[in-house]
Structure 1
Amino acid sequence: MDEQSRKWMVLVSSTWIQAFTGTNIDFSSYSSNLKSVMEISQLQLNYLAVASDMGKLFGWCSGIFLLHSPLWIVLFIAAFMGLFGYGLQWLVIIRVISLPYFAVFLLCLLAGCSICWFNTICYVLCIKNFPDNRPLALAFSISFNGVSAALYNLIADSIQSGNYTLYLLLNAIIPLIISLISVLPIILHQPSNIQPLSSQAIRRDSLIFLFLNVLAVITGLYLLILDQIETTSSIARALLAGAIILLLLPLFTPWIIQTSSIGRGSPSSFNLIDMGNFDVHKELIETNEGINDGFLLEEKKEGCCDCVVEKDQLVMLGDEHSSKRLLSRTDFWLYYVSYFCGGTVGLVYSNNIGQIAQSLGYGTSTTSVVALYSACSFFGRLLSATPDILRDKMYFSRTGWLAMSIVPLPFAFLILIISGSKVVLCVATAIVGLSSGFVFAAAVSVTSELFGPNSAGVNHNLLITNIPMGSVMLGLLAAVVYDANIQGSSFLKAMFVGVETSMVCMGRGCYTMTFVVWGLLSMLGILSSWLLFVRTKHVYHLVERKRSSFIFY
């Protein structure tokens, strides 16, 4: 098997890792049970969700390990961290062992750290193996992290439907199994000096990515639609078998394209990423004597922009930024706020889906709502490849796409404030999933383009430090508002048999003020991302003009 074939096996392996390691997204499925077993308040439960997100504070550790250790060793370190973190929580929730609250907090932190390590591994795999098609590879791989909840729902239902404590056991074991399956192609393919691809190879890779994205859409629709169906264990097993087949199909797609006539046709008949784009990409980001080449801004246009827009603007894409230089740039902080008010708000919402659904009287539908968020997050991540797919037909800078992806968020929180119906809950959850999913996936490429690809590992970990910070601040707000409304919902709680009345808030008031604050923050995110777009669009447009000159001349 040649190097080009092995790199596709590595990409598919990264999608499997992503698909089965997004274990933090099913927290809402078992959070109510954990809360009841440990007899803790909503505020204390929120801190456990925060602990999982705080694992991202230690993402830089995985980068350091990858510099000094083989990738497969880092993969198994992540797997065993998850096994230990989730496994002991499972023993707590089934009452086999009893641990103090602080110990469970540390276990959640360890489990969250494992997720961050898995993500870093997948980023490195895509960046090393697909330097020419990096955004497409990243979008495809990262998108599968969004189907984790739906896959875990199917697995849990196929074993014992309605047993929510089972999720913790699955979270502990399945990532280790997937690591064992995925490690062989990772070990066999160690790219060292990847040569530039020919125009025919670029066209073939473009076709492969097109077909892979079609398969990804089919997989997402399959999991989204069928996961909403009430099933028995036998039916769930059949649906799970279908999902596994869909996850295996990308393994054969590159071979089919390479051996078929469509992979050997005229180079001009189809083109997503052409040779001109590749040349421009190389000229932008390849290192030359320690400094990345880029297209300097030839001329600064005069206009009516105020100092906020003009001050300290980027003059080229792909320029490497050290941590110190990054933290001194206005563009980074606009980007930081945009990510906080877009992706992080969506993540905090997903952590609270279980309590939101329960407070509105839809506690039995929690797993379906979580799966809906997961599936829509998957499609949002997949849509982050849109700027590259539509580049020749409709060019728009990636920061502009980022700004547009946050626009629907205020609407989602507005309709949740207005109505507490199940339809509104599902629609709002879908919007939040799509919007935040796009932000999560697009951010890796945006970080690489604005602040340098070689520094992306460190710089992106600096960016996502806002996730644990947001979990603390926004999650704390949600928990305080929730607990403050418990006393006022006694009558509603009494109507729900089997609900622990001392710990549960019922009614729309439990989250109304929280939705107001989240909605206002998302509007701030729109403003911040729009300013980032205005400040960076000139360098994107200059690069596009240079790319066009390569194509036509």
Structure 2
Amino acid sequence: MSSTTLQWLSLVGTIWLQAIIGTNTNFPAYSSQLKQLLSISQVQLNNLAFASDAGKLFGWFSGLASIYLPLWLVLLTGSTLGLIGYGVQYLFITKQISSLSYWHVFLLTFLAGNSICWINTVCYVVTIRNFLSDRQVAVGITTSYQGLSAKIYANIVEAVSPHKKAKAFLFLNSLLPVIVGLVAAPLVREFDATSPKHTRVGFAVMFVITIFTGIYAVLSSLQFVTSKASSLDIMTGILVSLLLPLLVPLSVKIKELQDNRENLRIYHFTMEENNSEERVENEVKEGEVEEEIGIIEEVGVKLMLRRINFWLYFFVYYFGATVGLVYLNNLGQIAESRGCSNTSSLVSLSSSFGFFGRLMPSLMYYFYRGQCRISRPASLLAAMVPTSGAFFLLLNRTDLALYISTAVIGVCTGAITSIAVSTTTELFGTKHFSVNHNVVVANIPMGSFVFGYSAALVYRNQGHEHYEHGQCMGMECYRNTFIIWGSLCFFGTLLAFILHVSTRKFYSQIP
């Protein structure tokens, strides 16, 4: 099999991994049941959500491992950590293990959260290396599927075990990444080729497939669709859509076979001349794209931490995507406190819109590059503004406001997450990317603890004031929290504007 076909297969393998890697994103769908099964308070439940994010504090270990170890081993290490973290919790929930304390569950959740970093690092490294000249597009397509993780898991659980969600989610979280990891391990590796053939057509087809998948995910999350279609039908549809990207490497292989048959009828010197011209064209195109992308400087972690741009960028992410992720982590309790019973549908909706949010920056970059250019900091700024507004919209008590705000936060959080990969590359280079980006996303567990814990305290205080057993129902449970989160997002918007001004000279020089 040619290296070009294998490169496209590596992209498909990465898509599959990203689609099942977001095991922490489905936490809101079963958090209420887990709270009852473990007999814990809202603060303790929030600590478990923090533990999952806290695993990212040691994500830089996976970055170092990707430098010195084979990528397949890094991938399987991450899958194994997830198997242990979620698997032991499943055995405890099903009463196969009886002597497990709350802090054991906390540490297991931490371990499971760290497993995501290992798999994510492999996905980023493989995608960037195999599609160097189109890394923004390739990374955007693959990471968009991570936004579908909660949707995929929720659909499987609704079809298989709708009444025992906590047990079903923990079972899937432990086994699915291992199974997909074993399938994808031979595919997700670096292949020795300068630039894949038929790149533009291939990515155009990938975009069509990805957009179709996203539209299906959104429509199948809406109540008027779920009321008419069975859970099994919806699950089958989403799983089939994950197989559609295989059409690209399959088409490339068929095209290669056709070309080989034609080349048998052509003189040897003509073939050499055509191949030589093709190599020159590929080198020119690749050089043009590299010049267009640009890098401010190549620095390691120590020098990066001394840069003002790093701290601006770090806190933009902290007050933007991280606050959004904390909201999504608490979505189950937020919906319950507002009297919204259809939590799974809400989680699926946030996941589906997060999918489009991750895809949107790459889509715009791919089709509008050369016509107009928006810098990464300006893109971050554009995503921060509606996020802030969405939190203030949540002060409205209607279900419509809840759904709209959740969709907006899902889109913008996904967009910031996708833009951040390219921003880290452009600000601090590609050589140390695997370590540098894991340092950047270390802000997620910090924000998860600070923002999530404060929200849990407000919830507990309101619960003790109005209800027994610390359960809070009504708008007052999260009203002050939404005001604080919206204000922090607004402050992050100002920081994004400063970062945009600081880097404007560099981006203005890129054609």
TM-score by length of 2: 0.90
Rounded to whole Å, the distance in 1 between the matches of 2:35 and 2:505 is 51
Which residue of structure 1 aligns with residue 331 of structure 2? 353
Counterpart among 165, 168, 171 of residue 170 in structure 2? 168
TM-fit CA distance, 1:394: 2.2
- Tell me the alpha carbon deviations over residues 360-419 of structure 1, each in whole angstroms, 9 at most, x when there is no partner: 011x311111111111111100012123431222222122112101110111111111x1
Rounded to whole Å, the distance in 2 between the matches of 1:450 and 1:389 is 23
Q: Where do 1:166-315 residues align within 5 Å?
A: 166-186=168-188, 190-192=190-192, 194-195=193-194, 201=197, 204-229=198-223, 235-256=230-251, 278-282=286-290
Check whether the contact 2:220–2:226 (CA below 8 A) recurs between aligned residues. Answer: no
1:85 correspondence with 2:118: no
Rounded to whole Å, the distance in 2 between the matches of 1:523 and 1:368 is 29
Which residue of structure 2 aligns with residue 151 of structure 1? 152
Which residue of structure 1 aligns with residue 75 of structure 2? 75
1:130 correspondence with 2:114: no
Check whether the contact 2:358–2:417 (CA below 8 A) recurs between aligned residues. Answer: yes
Which residue of structure 1 aligns with residue 501 of structure 2? 534
Check whether the contact 2:144–2:359 (CA below 8 A) recurs between aligned residues. Answer: yes
Q: Where do 1:406-421 residues align within 5 Å?
A: 406-417=384-395, 419-421=396-398
Check whether the contact 1:154–1:236 (CA below 8 A) recurs between aligned residues. Answer: yes
Which residue of structure 1 aligns with residue 13 of structure 2? 13
Counterpart among 463, 487, 490 of residue 464 in structure 2? 487
Rounded to whole Å, the distance in 2 between the matches of 1:333 and 1:241 is 44
Check whether the contact 1:207–1:257 (CA below 8 A) recurs between aligned residues. Answer: no
TM-fit CA distance, 1:281: 4.2
Check whether the contact 1:413–1:518 (CA below 8 A) recurs between aligned residues. Answer: yes
Which residue of structure 2 aligns with residue 310 of structure 1? none
TM-fit CA distance, 1:72: 1.2
Which residue of structure 2 aligns with residue 439 of structure 1? 416
Rounded to whole Å, the distance in 2 between the matches of 1:283 and 1:392 is 12
Check whether the contact 1:381–1:439 (CA below 8 A) recurs between aligned residues. Answer: yes
1:48 correspondence with 2:48: yes
- Tell me the alpha carbon deviations over residues 69-97 of structure 1, each in whole angstroms, 9 at most, x when there is no partner: 21111111111111111112223333443
TM-fit CA distance, 1:489: 3.0
Letter in 2 for 1:247: L
- Tell me the alpha carbon deviations over residues 247-290 of structure 1, each in whole angstroms, 9 at most, x when there is no partner: 111111244367579x99xxxxxxxx9976632444588xxxxx
Letter in 1 for 2:154: N
TM-fit CA distance, 1:217: 1.1
Letter in 1 for 2:245: P
Q: Where do 1:368-407 residues align within 5 Å?
A: 368-385=345-362, 386-407=364-385
Which residue of structure 1 aligns with residue 318 of structure 2? 340
Letter in 1 for 2:504: K
Rounded to whole Å, the distance in 2 between the matches of 1:480 and 1:516 is 15
- Tell me the alpha carbon deviations over residues 299-325 of structure 1, each in whole angstroms, 9 at most, x when there is no partner: xxxxxxxxxxxxxxxxxx341012222
TM-fit CA distance, 1:185: 2.1
Letter in 1 for 2:178: L
Letter in 2 for 1:172: S
Q: What's the secondary structure of 2:59's corresponding residue?
A: helix
TM-fit CA distance, 1:427: 0.5
Rounded to whole Å, the distance in 1 between the matches of 2:143 and 2:300 is 25
Rounded to whole Å, the distance in 2 between the matches of 1:324 and 1:284 is 27
Q: How many residue pairs end up in the alignment? A: 485
Rounded to whole Å, the distance in 1 between the matches of 2:247 and 2:25 is 29
- Tell me the alpha carbon deviations over residues 212-264 of structure 1, each in whole angstroms, 9 at most, x when there is no partner: 11111111111221133475999322222222221111111244367579x99
Check whether the contact 2:56–2:114 (CA below 8 A) recurs between aligned residues. Answer: yes
Rounded to whole Å, the distance in 2 between the matches of 1:40 and 1:222 is 37
- Tell me the alpha carbon deviations over residues 425-483 of structure 1, each in whole angstroms, 9 at most, x when there is no partner: 11000000000100111101110011111121111111111111101110111011100
Which residue of structure 1 aligns with residue 309 of structure 2? 331
Check whether the contact 2:78–2:116 (CA below 8 A) recurs between aligned residues. Answer: yes
Q: Where do 1:54-73 residues align within 5 Å?
A: 54-73=54-73
Rounded to whole Å, the distance in 2 between the matches of 1:196 and 1:484 is 58
Letter in 1 for 2:302: K
Check whether the contact 1:402–1:529 (CA below 8 A) recurs between aligned residues. Answer: yes
Rounded to whole Å, the distance in 1 between the matches of 2:234 and 2:30 is 22
Q: Where do 1:409-488 residues align within 5 Å?
A: 409-417=387-395, 419-488=396-465
Check whether the contact 2:296–2:506 (CA below 8 A) recurs between aligned residues. Answer: no
Rounded to whole Å, the distance in 2 between the matches of 1:196 and 1:154 is 37
- Tell me the alpha carbon deviations over residues 33-88 of structure 1, each in whole angstroms, 9 at most, x when there is no partner: 11112221111111111110011111111122222221111111111111111112
Rounded to whole Å, the distance in 1 between the matches of 2:282 and 2:510 is 15
- What are structure 1's unaligned runs of at least 5 residues? 265-272, 286-293, 295-316, 491-500, 545-553
Q: What's the secondary structure of 2:136's corresponding residue?
A: helix
Which residue of structure 1 aligns with residue 278 of structure 2? none
TM-score by length of 1: 0.84
Rounded to whole Å, the distance in 2 between the matches of 1:76 and 1:455 is 22
Rounded to whole Å, the distance in 1 between the matches of 2:105 and 2:151 is 25
Counterpart among 510, 519, 523 of residue 490 in structure 2? 523
1:320 correspondence with 2:301: no
Letter in 2 for 1:195: T
Q: Which has the higher helix share?
A: 2
Rounded to whole Å, the distance in 2 between the matches of 1:170 and 1:449 is 37
- What are structure 2's unaligned runs of at least 5 residues? 260-280
Q: What's the secondary structure of 1:483's corresponding residue?
A: helix
RMSD after superposition: 2.3
- Tell me the alpha carbon deviations over residues 9-42 of structure 1, each in whole angstroms, 9 at most, x when there is no partner: 0100000001011110010111111111222111
Check whether the contact 2:137–2:365 (CA below 8 A) recurs between aligned residues. Answer: no
Check whether the contact 1:158–1:234 (CA below 8 A) recurs between aligned residues. Answer: no
Rounded to whole Å, the distance in 1 between the matches of 2:176 and 2:229 is 20
Rounded to whole Å, the distance in 2 between the matches of 1:251 and 1:324 is 41
Check whether the contact 1:66–1:74 (CA below 8 A) recurs between aligned residues. Answer: yes
